[in-house]
Structure 1
Amino acid sequence: MSAITLSIITVNYNNREGLAKTIASVGGQLYKDYEYIVIDGGSTDGSRELLEENKHLIGYAVSEKDCGIYHAMNKGIARARGTYIQFLNAGDVYNSKDSLQVFFKANPVAEIVYADYTDAATGELYRMPETLSFRFFYRQSLNHQATLIQRSLFERFELYNENSPIIADWEFFIRSIVLHSASTQYIAQPFIRFDFGDSMSNNPANLDKINRRRTEVLQQHFPLLVKDMEYIDAIEQSTTFKLLRRITKLKSFFSK
Protein backbone atom coordinates (compact mmCIF):
# COMPACT_ATOMS: atom_id res chain seq x y z
CA MET A 1 0.00 0.00 0.00
CA SER A 2 1.28 3.48 -0.85
CA ALA A 3 2.05 5.93 1.94
CA ILE A 4 -0.23 8.87 2.67
CA THR A 5 0.20 11.92 4.87
CA LEU A 6 -2.71 11.56 7.29
CA SER A 7 -4.96 8.91 8.77
CA ILE A 8 -8.13 10.38 10.28
CA ILE A 9 -9.73 8.02 12.81
CA THR A 10 -13.26 8.48 14.12
CA VAL A 11 -14.49 6.45 17.10
CA ASN A 12 -18.24 6.20 17.61
CA TYR A 13 -20.78 4.47 19.78
CA ASN A 14 -24.50 5.24 19.48
CA ASN A 15 -23.97 8.83 18.36
CA ARG A 16 -25.44 8.75 14.87
CA GLU A 17 -26.12 12.50 14.78
CA GLY A 18 -22.57 13.37 15.81
CA LEU A 19 -21.10 10.79 13.44
CA ALA A 20 -23.03 12.28 10.52
CA LYS A 21 -21.56 15.73 11.27
CA THR A 22 -18.04 14.36 11.51
CA ILE A 23 -18.25 12.34 8.29
CA ALA A 24 -19.58 15.39 6.43
CA SER A 25 -16.80 17.57 7.85
CA VAL A 26 -14.06 15.13 6.84
CA GLY A 27 -15.54 14.62 3.38
CA GLY A 28 -15.80 18.38 2.86
CA GLN A 29 -12.11 19.11 3.45
CA LEU A 30 -10.27 20.70 0.52
CA TYR A 31 -7.12 18.82 1.51
CA LYS A 32 -7.38 15.24 0.25
CA ASP A 33 -4.12 13.45 1.13
CA TYR A 34 -5.74 11.40 3.85
CA GLU A 35 -7.46 8.12 4.54
CA TYR A 36 -10.58 7.98 6.69
CA ILE A 37 -11.12 5.20 9.24
CA VAL A 38 -14.26 4.77 11.36
CA ILE A 39 -14.34 2.41 14.33
CA ASP A 40 -17.89 1.91 15.61
CA GLY A 41 -18.51 -0.04 18.80
CA GLY A 42 -21.51 -1.99 17.51
CA SER A 43 -24.01 0.87 17.67
CA THR A 44 -27.74 0.16 17.59
CA ASP A 45 -28.94 3.71 16.77
CA GLY A 46 -28.51 3.64 12.99
CA SER A 47 -24.80 4.47 12.96
CA ARG A 48 -24.01 1.21 11.16
CA GLU A 49 -26.46 2.09 8.37
CA LEU A 50 -24.97 5.60 8.18
CA LEU A 51 -21.54 4.10 7.57
CA GLU A 52 -22.93 2.06 4.69
CA GLU A 53 -24.56 5.16 3.20
CA ASN A 54 -21.26 7.03 3.32
CA LYS A 55 -18.88 4.25 2.33
CA HIS A 56 -17.70 6.34 -0.64
CA LEU A 57 -16.13 8.75 1.89
CA ILE A 58 -14.65 6.12 4.20
CA GLY A 59 -11.59 4.02 3.46
CA TYR A 60 -12.21 1.51 6.24
CA ALA A 61 -15.12 1.04 8.65
CA VAL A 62 -16.06 -1.59 11.17
CA SER A 63 -19.02 -1.89 13.54
CA GLU A 64 -18.46 -4.40 16.31
CA LYS A 65 -18.36 -4.55 20.09
CA ASP A 66 -15.15 -3.25 21.63
CA CYS A 67 -13.73 -2.76 25.11
CA GLY A 68 -14.02 1.02 25.30
CA ILE A 69 -12.84 4.16 23.56
CA TYR A 70 -9.09 3.52 23.83
CA HIS A 71 -9.46 -0.04 22.59
CA ALA A 72 -11.36 1.40 19.62
CA MET A 73 -8.65 4.04 19.05
CA ASN A 74 -5.97 1.35 19.14
CA LYS A 75 -7.94 -0.65 16.56
CA GLY A 76 -7.88 2.41 14.34
CA ILE A 77 -4.13 2.84 14.78
CA ALA A 78 -3.61 -0.79 13.73
CA ARG A 79 -5.38 -0.05 10.42
CA ALA A 80 -3.68 3.31 9.78
CA ARG A 81 -0.97 3.83 7.19
CA GLY A 82 -0.53 7.63 7.30
CA THR A 83 2.59 9.43 8.45
CA TYR A 84 0.39 11.28 10.94
CA ILE A 85 -2.70 10.10 12.83
CA GLN A 86 -5.56 12.32 13.97
CA PHE A 87 -8.50 11.26 16.14
CA LEU A 88 -11.66 13.17 15.23
CA ASN A 89 -14.40 11.49 17.22
CA ALA A 90 -18.13 11.50 16.51
CA GLY A 91 -19.51 15.00 17.04
CA ASP A 92 -16.20 16.79 16.46
CA VAL A 93 -15.73 18.72 13.22
CA TYR A 94 -13.08 20.80 11.48
CA ASN A 95 -13.22 24.53 12.02
CA SER A 96 -13.57 25.17 8.28
CA LYS A 97 -13.29 23.42 4.92
CA ASP A 98 -9.67 24.49 4.58
CA SER A 99 -8.55 23.50 8.11
CA LEU A 100 -6.33 20.64 6.95
CA GLN A 101 -5.06 22.63 3.99
CA VAL A 102 -3.94 25.51 6.23
CA PHE A 103 -2.51 23.08 8.78
CA PHE A 104 -0.28 21.31 6.28
CA LYS A 105 0.78 24.57 4.62
CA ALA A 106 2.40 25.36 7.97
CA ASN A 107 4.75 22.44 7.25
CA PRO A 108 4.29 20.17 10.28
CA VAL A 109 7.45 18.14 10.85
CA ALA A 110 7.50 17.33 14.58
CA GLU A 111 6.43 14.02 16.09
CA ILE A 112 3.46 15.70 17.80
CA VAL A 113 1.86 18.73 16.15
CA TYR A 114 -0.93 20.56 17.96
CA ALA A 115 -3.21 23.52 17.34
CA ASP A 116 -5.96 25.57 18.96
CA TYR A 117 -9.59 24.52 19.10
CA THR A 118 -13.02 25.98 19.77
CA ASP A 119 -16.07 24.86 21.73
CA ALA A 120 -18.55 23.52 19.17
CA ALA A 121 -21.49 24.86 21.18
CA THR A 122 -20.28 28.34 22.16
CA GLY A 123 -17.48 29.12 19.74
CA GLU A 124 -15.10 29.91 22.63
CA LEU A 125 -11.47 29.69 21.49
CA TYR A 126 -8.97 27.62 23.50
CA ARG A 127 -5.38 28.60 22.74
CA MET A 128 -2.55 26.20 23.42
CA PRO A 129 0.89 27.29 24.67
CA GLU A 130 3.65 27.66 22.11
CA THR A 131 6.00 25.76 24.40
CA LEU A 132 4.89 22.72 26.41
CA SER A 133 6.12 21.92 29.91
CA PHE A 134 5.58 19.56 32.81
CA ARG A 135 3.60 22.32 34.48
CA PHE A 136 1.19 22.39 31.53
CA PHE A 137 0.56 18.63 31.65
CA TYR A 138 0.35 18.67 35.45
CA ARG A 139 -2.73 20.87 35.13
CA GLN A 140 -4.24 20.04 31.74
CA SER A 141 -3.59 18.33 28.41
CA LEU A 142 -3.55 18.77 24.68
CA ASN A 143 -6.84 18.31 22.90
CA HIS A 144 -6.20 15.08 21.02
CA GLN A 145 -8.69 15.99 18.29
CA ALA A 146 -6.60 19.10 17.53
CA THR A 147 -3.35 17.12 17.61
CA LEU A 148 -1.57 15.10 14.93
CA ILE A 149 0.72 12.29 16.10
CA GLN A 150 3.31 10.57 13.95
CA ARG A 151 2.31 6.94 13.64
CA SER A 152 5.89 5.89 14.45
CA LEU A 153 5.43 7.19 18.01
CA PHE A 154 2.88 4.48 18.72
CA GLU A 155 5.53 1.95 17.76
CA ARG A 156 8.13 3.62 20.03
CA PHE A 157 5.92 4.26 23.06
CA GLU A 158 3.23 1.60 22.63
CA LEU A 159 -0.47 2.19 22.01
CA TYR A 160 -2.95 3.85 24.35
CA ASN A 161 -3.13 2.21 27.76
CA GLU A 162 -6.55 0.54 27.72
CA ASN A 163 -6.35 0.07 31.49
CA SER A 164 -6.12 3.83 32.01
CA PRO A 165 -9.76 4.95 32.05
CA ILE A 166 -10.73 8.23 30.38
CA ILE A 167 -7.28 9.86 30.28
CA ALA A 168 -5.06 7.45 28.35
CA ASP A 169 -4.47 10.19 25.76
CA TRP A 170 -3.10 12.50 28.50
CA GLU A 171 -0.97 9.61 29.77
CA PHE A 172 0.41 9.04 26.27
CA PHE A 173 1.27 12.74 25.87
CA ILE A 174 3.00 13.07 29.24
CA ARG A 175 5.02 9.89 28.69
CA SER A 176 6.05 10.68 25.12
CA ILE A 177 6.67 14.43 25.50
CA VAL A 178 7.81 14.91 29.11
CA LEU A 179 9.41 11.55 29.83
CA HIS A 180 10.85 10.72 26.39
CA SER A 181 11.24 14.19 24.81
CA ALA A 182 9.17 13.60 21.67
CA SER A 183 9.45 16.65 19.42
CA THR A 184 6.49 19.03 19.36
CA GLN A 185 5.26 21.85 17.14
CA TYR A 186 2.52 24.41 17.70
CA ILE A 187 0.41 25.70 14.82
CA ALA A 188 -1.50 28.81 15.86
CA GLN A 189 -4.86 28.25 14.22
CA PRO A 190 -8.32 27.19 15.41
CA PHE A 191 -8.20 23.71 13.94
CA ILE A 192 -11.31 21.86 15.12
CA ARG A 193 -14.61 22.45 16.89
CA PHE A 194 -14.73 20.13 19.89
CA ASP A 195 -17.99 18.61 21.17
CA PHE A 196 -17.63 19.09 24.94
CA GLY A 197 -21.07 17.59 25.48
CA ASP A 198 -19.91 14.13 24.43
CA SER A 199 -16.56 14.24 26.24
CA MET A 200 -16.01 11.73 29.06
CA SER A 201 -13.24 13.84 30.59
CA ASN A 202 -15.63 16.79 31.01
CA ASN A 203 -18.29 14.73 32.77
CA PRO A 204 -18.29 15.69 36.49
CA ALA A 205 -19.20 12.09 37.36
CA ASN A 206 -15.76 11.01 36.11
CA LEU A 207 -13.76 13.61 38.05
CA ASP A 208 -12.71 11.39 40.97
CA LYS A 209 -11.65 8.58 38.64
CA ILE A 210 -9.64 11.02 36.51
CA ASN A 211 -7.87 12.56 39.50
CA ARG A 212 -6.98 9.16 40.96
CA ARG A 213 -5.47 7.97 37.71
CA ARG A 214 -3.60 11.25 37.11
CA THR A 215 -2.10 11.00 40.59
CA GLU A 216 -1.01 7.39 39.97
CA VAL A 217 0.74 8.27 36.69
CA LEU A 218 2.42 11.40 38.09
CA GLN A 219 3.65 9.60 41.20
CA GLN A 220 4.94 6.70 39.11
CA HIS A 221 7.01 8.79 36.70
CA PHE A 222 7.61 12.19 38.34
CA PRO A 223 7.44 11.97 42.16
CA LEU A 224 9.93 14.80 42.80
CA LEU A 225 8.38 17.14 40.23
CA VAL A 226 4.96 16.52 41.77
CA LYS A 227 6.30 17.68 45.14
CA ASP A 228 7.62 20.85 43.51
CA MET A 229 4.27 21.53 41.83
CA GLU A 230 2.39 21.00 45.09
CA TYR A 231 4.72 23.54 46.71
CA ILE A 232 4.19 26.03 43.86
CA ASP A 233 0.42 25.55 44.04
CA ALA A 234 0.46 26.28 47.77
CA ILE A 235 2.43 29.50 47.19
CA GLU A 236 0.15 30.65 44.37
CA GLN A 237 -2.91 30.12 46.54
CA SER A 238 -1.48 32.21 49.38
CA THR A 239 -2.91 35.65 50.14
CA THR A 240 0.51 37.28 49.80
CA PHE A 241 1.08 35.90 46.31
CA LYS A 242 -2.38 36.95 45.14
CA LEU A 243 -1.77 40.47 46.47
CA LEU A 244 1.61 40.72 44.73
CA ARG A 245 0.09 39.53 41.46
CA ARG A 246 -2.65 42.17 41.74
CA ILE A 247 -0.06 44.91 42.39
CA THR A 248 2.00 43.75 39.41
CA LYS A 249 -1.04 43.94 37.14
CA LEU A 250 -1.85 47.45 38.37
CA LYS A 251 1.73 48.61 37.73
CA SER A 252 1.58 47.16 34.23
CA PHE A 253 -1.74 48.91 33.56
CA PHE A 254 -0.55 52.36 34.70
CA SER A 255 2.76 52.09 32.83
CA LYS A 256 1.02 51.78 29.47
Structure 2
Amino acid sequence: MDGNLPLLTVIIVVYNGAASIENTIQSTLHLNYENRKIIIIDGGSSDGTTDIIKKYQQQIYYWISEPDKGIYDAMNKGWAQADHDSYIIFLGSGDKILQLPDLSKNIDHNIIYGSVWIGEKLFNSVTDFRLKLGNTVHHQALLIKKSIHPQPPFSLDYPVYADFDFNQRLYKSGIPFIKDKSFYSYALEGGVSAVKNKKESLRVVKKNFGKLYSLLASIYYFLQDARNIK
Protein backbone atom coordinates (compact mmCIF):
# COMPACT_ATOMS: atom_id res chain seq x y z
CA MET A 1 0.00 0.00 0.00
CA ASP A 2 1.12 3.56 -0.68
CA GLY A 3 1.30 5.20 2.74
CA ASN A 4 1.54 8.63 1.13
CA LEU A 5 -2.04 8.39 -0.09
CA PRO A 6 -4.96 8.90 2.31
CA LEU A 7 -6.61 5.67 3.36
CA LEU A 8 -9.81 4.90 1.45
CA THR A 9 -12.41 2.60 3.02
CA VAL A 10 -15.05 1.22 0.66
CA ILE A 11 -18.03 -0.12 2.60
CA ILE A 12 -20.29 -2.45 0.61
CA VAL A 13 -23.70 -3.27 2.08
CA VAL A 14 -25.67 -6.16 0.64
CA TYR A 15 -28.62 -8.45 1.26
CA ASN A 16 -29.38 -11.27 -1.16
CA GLY A 17 -27.28 -9.66 -3.86
CA ALA A 18 -25.77 -12.77 -5.46
CA ALA A 19 -26.59 -11.49 -8.95
CA SER A 20 -24.58 -8.29 -8.56
CA ILE A 21 -22.19 -8.40 -5.58
CA GLU A 22 -19.28 -9.92 -7.50
CA ASN A 23 -19.31 -7.07 -10.01
CA THR A 24 -19.06 -4.55 -7.14
CA ILE A 25 -16.26 -6.44 -5.40
CA GLN A 26 -14.25 -6.87 -8.60
CA SER A 27 -14.63 -3.25 -9.67
CA THR A 28 -13.48 -2.12 -6.22
CA LEU A 29 -10.46 -4.41 -6.31
CA HIS A 30 -9.55 -3.05 -9.73
CA LEU A 31 -9.57 0.58 -8.62
CA ASN A 32 -6.34 2.36 -9.40
CA TYR A 33 -5.83 3.12 -5.72
CA GLU A 34 -3.62 0.96 -3.55
CA ASN A 35 -4.19 2.40 -0.07
CA ARG A 36 -7.69 1.06 0.40
CA LYS A 37 -9.65 -1.30 2.59
CA ILE A 38 -12.85 -3.11 1.69
CA ILE A 39 -15.53 -3.77 4.28
CA ILE A 40 -18.62 -5.83 3.43
CA ILE A 41 -21.71 -5.93 5.65
CA ASP A 42 -24.16 -8.62 4.62
CA GLY A 43 -27.60 -8.73 6.17
CA GLY A 44 -27.80 -12.52 6.49
CA SER A 45 -28.23 -13.42 2.83
CA SER A 46 -29.60 -16.82 1.83
CA ASP A 47 -29.05 -16.70 -1.95
CA GLY A 48 -25.36 -17.52 -2.20
CA THR A 49 -24.07 -13.99 -1.63
CA THR A 50 -21.76 -15.12 1.17
CA ASP A 51 -20.24 -17.84 -1.02
CA ILE A 52 -19.21 -15.12 -3.47
CA ILE A 53 -17.80 -12.95 -0.69
CA LYS A 54 -15.74 -15.88 0.62
CA LYS A 55 -14.01 -16.16 -2.78
CA TYR A 56 -12.45 -12.75 -2.11
CA GLN A 57 -12.06 -12.81 1.66
CA GLN A 58 -8.25 -12.67 1.49
CA GLN A 59 -8.60 -9.26 -0.19
CA ILE A 60 -11.34 -7.99 2.12
CA TYR A 61 -10.33 -6.16 5.30
CA TYR A 62 -13.49 -7.10 7.20
CA TRP A 63 -16.80 -8.77 6.44
CA ILE A 64 -19.72 -10.12 8.40
CA SER A 65 -23.05 -11.75 7.62
CA GLU A 66 -25.82 -11.32 10.18
CA PRO A 67 -29.38 -9.99 10.30
CA ASP A 68 -29.69 -6.24 10.62
CA LYS A 69 -32.36 -3.56 10.91
CA GLY A 70 -32.04 -2.33 7.33
CA ILE A 71 -29.51 -0.69 5.06
CA TYR A 72 -28.58 2.14 7.44
CA ASP A 73 -27.98 -0.26 10.32
CA ALA A 74 -25.60 -2.12 7.99
CA MET A 75 -23.92 1.15 6.99
CA ASN A 76 -23.47 2.07 10.67
CA LYS A 77 -21.81 -1.29 11.29
CA GLY A 78 -19.41 -0.66 8.43
CA TRP A 79 -18.65 2.86 9.67
CA ALA A 80 -17.76 1.48 13.10
CA GLN A 81 -15.15 -0.84 11.54
CA ALA A 82 -13.43 1.84 9.45
CA ASP A 83 -10.17 3.48 10.53
CA HIS A 84 -10.51 6.88 12.20
CA ASP A 85 -8.33 8.63 9.61
CA SER A 86 -9.88 7.12 6.47
CA TYR A 87 -12.13 8.48 3.77
CA ILE A 88 -15.33 6.43 3.71
CA ILE A 89 -17.56 5.72 0.72
CA PHE A 90 -20.64 3.47 0.62
CA LEU A 91 -21.70 1.18 -2.19
CA GLY A 92 -24.64 -1.17 -2.54
CA SER A 93 -24.58 -4.45 -4.41
CA GLY A 94 -24.33 -3.60 -8.10
CA ASP A 95 -22.86 -0.12 -7.51
CA LYS A 96 -19.32 0.76 -8.51
CA ILE A 97 -16.86 3.63 -8.47
CA LEU A 98 -16.06 4.66 -12.02
CA GLN A 99 -13.39 7.25 -11.30
CA LEU A 100 -11.97 8.46 -8.00
CA PRO A 101 -10.77 12.00 -7.39
CA ASP A 102 -7.07 12.55 -6.83
CA LEU A 103 -7.07 12.24 -3.05
CA SER A 104 -3.42 13.26 -2.83
CA LYS A 105 -4.57 16.73 -3.93
CA ASN A 106 -7.67 16.74 -1.71
CA ILE A 107 -6.10 15.57 1.53
CA ASP A 108 -7.13 18.74 3.42
CA HIS A 109 -10.79 18.34 2.43
CA ASN A 110 -13.15 16.50 4.76
CA ILE A 111 -16.04 15.97 2.33
CA ILE A 112 -15.61 15.37 -1.41
CA TYR A 113 -18.46 14.62 -3.79
CA GLY A 114 -18.96 13.85 -7.45
CA SER A 115 -21.68 12.70 -9.83
CA VAL A 116 -23.55 9.41 -10.13
CA TRP A 117 -24.89 7.51 -13.09
CA ILE A 118 -28.19 5.87 -12.14
CA GLY A 119 -28.83 3.53 -15.02
CA GLU A 120 -28.39 5.73 -18.08
CA LYS A 121 -29.19 9.01 -16.29
CA LEU A 122 -26.43 11.21 -14.86
CA PHE A 123 -27.25 12.72 -11.48
CA ASN A 124 -25.18 15.87 -10.91
CA SER A 125 -24.95 16.33 -7.17
CA VAL A 126 -25.28 19.84 -5.76
CA THR A 127 -24.71 21.22 -2.27
CA ASP A 128 -26.27 24.66 -2.49
CA PHE A 129 -29.57 25.71 -0.83
CA ARG A 130 -31.33 22.78 -2.55
CA LEU A 131 -29.74 20.41 -0.03
CA LYS A 132 -32.00 22.06 2.56
CA LEU A 133 -35.01 20.83 0.57
CA GLY A 134 -34.07 17.48 -0.94
CA ASN A 135 -31.38 14.83 -1.00
CA THR A 136 -29.17 16.27 -3.72
CA VAL A 137 -26.09 14.13 -2.97
CA HIS A 138 -25.84 10.36 -3.49
CA HIS A 139 -23.60 8.33 -1.20
CA GLN A 140 -22.08 6.38 -4.12
CA ALA A 141 -20.06 9.49 -4.99
CA LEU A 142 -19.53 10.96 -1.54
CA LEU A 143 -16.26 10.65 0.39
CA ILE A 144 -16.32 11.61 4.06
CA LYS A 145 -13.43 11.58 6.52
CA LYS A 146 -14.47 9.49 9.49
CA SER A 147 -12.56 11.83 11.79
CA ILE A 148 -15.22 14.53 11.42
CA HIS A 149 -17.91 12.16 12.77
CA PRO A 150 -16.32 9.20 14.60
CA GLN A 151 -19.62 7.66 15.73
CA PRO A 152 -21.92 5.77 13.30
CA PRO A 153 -23.92 8.59 11.71
CA PHE A 154 -27.20 7.17 10.42
CA SER A 155 -30.44 7.46 12.38
CA LEU A 156 -32.62 4.36 12.15
CA ASP A 157 -35.64 6.65 12.61
CA TYR A 158 -35.40 7.25 8.84
CA PRO A 159 -35.48 3.92 6.93
CA VAL A 160 -35.27 5.64 3.52
CA TYR A 161 -33.67 9.03 4.14
CA ALA A 162 -31.11 8.52 6.90
CA ASP A 163 -28.41 9.52 4.42
CA PHE A 164 -30.32 12.72 3.62
CA ASP A 165 -30.51 13.45 7.34
CA PHE A 166 -26.75 12.94 7.71
CA ASN A 167 -26.02 15.10 4.66
CA GLN A 168 -28.15 17.90 6.06
CA ARG A 169 -26.44 17.68 9.45
CA LEU A 170 -23.05 17.91 7.76
CA TYR A 171 -24.28 20.89 5.74
CA LYS A 172 -25.51 22.61 8.92
CA SER A 173 -22.15 22.03 10.59
CA GLY A 174 -20.51 24.34 8.07
CA ILE A 175 -17.96 21.80 6.84
CA PRO A 176 -17.38 22.55 3.13
CA PHE A 177 -18.57 20.04 0.53
CA ILE A 178 -15.90 20.02 -2.19
CA LYS A 179 -17.02 19.12 -5.72
CA ASP A 180 -14.53 17.15 -7.80
CA LYS A 181 -15.53 17.03 -11.46
CA SER A 182 -13.41 13.93 -12.07
CA PHE A 183 -15.33 11.86 -9.48
CA TYR A 184 -17.96 9.50 -10.94
CA SER A 185 -19.79 6.44 -9.67
CA TYR A 186 -22.54 4.15 -10.91
CA ALA A 187 -25.61 3.21 -8.85
CA LEU A 188 -27.70 0.19 -9.72
CA GLU A 189 -31.28 1.18 -10.45
CA GLY A 190 -33.91 0.11 -7.95
CA GLY A 191 -31.92 0.54 -4.73
CA VAL A 192 -32.98 2.49 -1.66
CA SER A 193 -32.24 5.70 -3.60
CA ALA A 194 -35.15 4.85 -5.88
CA VAL A 195 -37.64 4.68 -3.02
CA LYS A 196 -39.68 7.84 -2.53
CA ASN A 197 -41.17 8.68 0.83
CA LYS A 198 -42.09 12.35 0.89
CA LYS A 199 -43.46 12.28 4.42
CA GLU A 200 -40.19 10.95 5.76
CA SER A 201 -38.19 13.42 3.70
CA LEU A 202 -40.26 16.30 5.05
CA ARG A 203 -39.70 15.04 8.61
CA VAL A 204 -35.97 15.20 7.99
CA VAL A 205 -36.18 18.75 6.65
CA LYS A 206 -38.37 19.90 9.53
CA LYS A 207 -36.01 18.39 12.10
CA ASN A 208 -32.91 19.98 10.62
CA PHE A 209 -34.19 23.31 9.28
CA GLY A 210 -37.65 23.94 10.78
CA LYS A 211 -41.25 24.29 9.65
CA LEU A 212 -40.63 26.97 7.02
CA TYR A 213 -38.16 24.86 5.09
CA SER A 214 -40.45 21.84 5.44
CA LEU A 215 -43.20 23.91 3.74
CA LEU A 216 -40.78 25.05 1.04
CA ALA A 217 -39.70 21.45 0.53
CA SER A 218 -43.30 20.30 0.01
CA ILE A 219 -43.71 22.98 -2.69
CA TYR A 220 -40.38 21.95 -4.20
CA TYR A 221 -41.53 18.30 -4.42
CA PHE A 222 -44.85 19.34 -5.97
CA LEU A 223 -43.06 21.35 -8.67
CA GLN A 224 -40.70 18.45 -9.35
CA ASP A 225 -43.63 16.07 -9.77
CA ALA A 226 -45.44 18.51 -12.05
CA ARG A 227 -42.34 18.84 -14.22
CA ASN A 228 -41.95 15.07 -14.45
CA ILE A 229 -45.57 14.66 -15.58
CA LYS A 230 -45.04 16.90 -18.59
The TM-score with structure 1 as length reference comes to 0.77
Name 1:84's counterpart in structure 2. 87
Corresponding residue for 1:20? 22
Structure 2 residue corresponding to 1:200, chosen from 189, 192, 196: 192
Structure 1 residues not aligned, in runs of 5+? 238-256
Q: Does 1:184 align with 2:183?
A: no
| Structure exhibiting the larger radius of gyration computed from Cα positions | 1
Q: How far apart, CA to CA, are the structure 2 residues paired with 1:171 and 1:231? A: 16
- Offset of residue 229 of structure 1: 3.1
Q: What secondary structure does 1:42 align onto?
A: coil
**Structure 1 counterpart of 2:21, which letter?**
L
Partner of 1:249: none
**Structure 2 length-normalised TM:** 0.85
- What is the aligned partner in structure 2 of residue 149 from structure 1? 144
Runs of 4+ displaced beyond 4 Å: 230-234
Q: Please give the per-residue CA displacement for 1:188-236, whole angstroms capped at 9, x wherever unaligned.
A: 1251111122x12313xxx3xx2112222222332264178369859x8
Q: Which one-letter code corresponds to 2:174 in the other structure?
A: S
Q: Which runs of 5+ in 2 are unaligned?
A: 225-230
The verdict on how the C-alpha distance between 1:108 and 1:115 changes in structure 2, with shifts beyond 3 A counting, is: farther
1:234-249 matches, within 5 Å, as none
Aligned to 1:214: 201
Distance of aligned partners of 1:145 and 1:229 in 2 relative to their CA distance in 1, 3 Å threshold: same
Residues 37 and 60 of structure 2 are in contact (CA less than 8 Å); yes or no, is this contact kept in structure 1? yes
Aligned length: 219
In the TM superposition, what is the alpha-carbon distance from 1:65 to its structure 2 partner? 1.0
Specify which structure has the higher proportion of helix: 1
How much has 1:103 moved relative to structure 2?
Answer: 3.5
Identity of aligned residues (%): 29
Does the CA-based 8 Å contact 2:164-2:204 persist in structure 1?
no
Instruction: Tell me the residue number matched to 2:114.
Output: 115
